[in-house]
Amino acid sequence: MNAGAKEPRQIILALARHANVCRERGAYARAARFFSRAFALAEQVFADDELSWLPLLNNFAVLGKYIGRFDEAEMMYRRALRIAENRLGERHAIVATIYHNLGGLEHARGNYAAGEPLARRAVEIRRALLGEAHLDVAADMAALAAILDGLGRYDESEPIYNRVLEIFEREVGPENYEIAINLNNLAAVYAAQGKLEAAERLY
């Protein structure tokens, strides 16, 4: 790559960084403008299957989910998935992350049945890479449990939440934001099952 060809890549990275900062601050319209500019330039600079696409596609898709542009977000996740699987293989951590995010997108849409196989695939890949008790595996399991909640399959989601809590408590201690989220979600499962005293303790 010659020196002149590096400049547009640097511009793309700078635009994407600005977009991510705006997204994290809740300035979604501004983030979308930066992402759109970065994306338009990337279309001219990146090859179709280039790994440089992945962070841009993923982060733009995350924003799309936040602002309800679900179809656009899915298109970007699917494009990222094709690139990642072709270039990195089907059992890579980045592939697991994209499956996790696709499952989360279907959860946001309320398409729980469509989200379940995606979430399960994320768990399967991550577990094969990292083992049974890694925090990233726990995060994927929690996402799967939330989808099972949406399907009303509380008997399946309950043990998953308990396992997630066990991993987080062992790895990061009992006072952690993720633990609070999963305690809340497990409490909701108990409440839906009519186990109100158990739900109250967790809440």
Q: Give the pLDDT mean for 103-130.
A: 97
Co-location of 112 and 160 in the same domain: yes
Co-location of 5 and 40 in the same domain: yes
Q: Look up the pTM and report it.
A: 0.91
Co-location of 131 and 196 in the same domain: yes
Q: Which of the listed residues 88, 120, 138 is the one where a domain comes to its end?
A: 88
3 pLDDT band (50/70/90 cuts)?
Answer: very low
Co-location of 190 and 108 in the same domain: yes
10: domain CATH number is 1.25.40.10
Co-location of 189 and 108 in the same domain: yes
Co-location of 121 and 181 in the same domain: yes
Co-location of 63 and 127 in the same domain: no
Co-location of 53 and 98 in the same domain: no
Q: Which of the listed residues 88, 122, 156 is the one where a domain comes to its end?
A: 88
Q: Residues 33-84: pLDDT tens digits?
A: 999 999 999 999 999 889 999 999 999 999 999 999 999 999 999 999 999 9
Q: Which of the listed residues 71, 88, 105 is the one where a domain comes to its end?
A: 88
Co-location of 124 and 39 in the same domain: no
Expressed as residue numbers, the domain containing 201 is 91-203
| Total tally of structural domains belonging to the chain | 2
Q: What is the 3-state secondary structure (H, E, C) of the chain?
A: CCHHHHHHHHHHHHHHHHHHHHHHCCCHHHHHHHHHHHHHHHHHHCCCCCCCHHHHHHHHHHHHHHCCCHHHHHHHHHHHHHHHHHHHCCCCHHHHHHHHHHHHHHHHHCCHHHHHHHHHHHHHHHHHHHCCCCHHHHHHHHHHHHHHHHCCCHHHHHHHHHHHHHHHHHHHCCCCHHHHHHHHHHHHHHHHCCCHHHHHHHC
Instruction: Give residue 6's pLDDT.
Output: 59
Co-location of 102 and 79 in the same domain: no
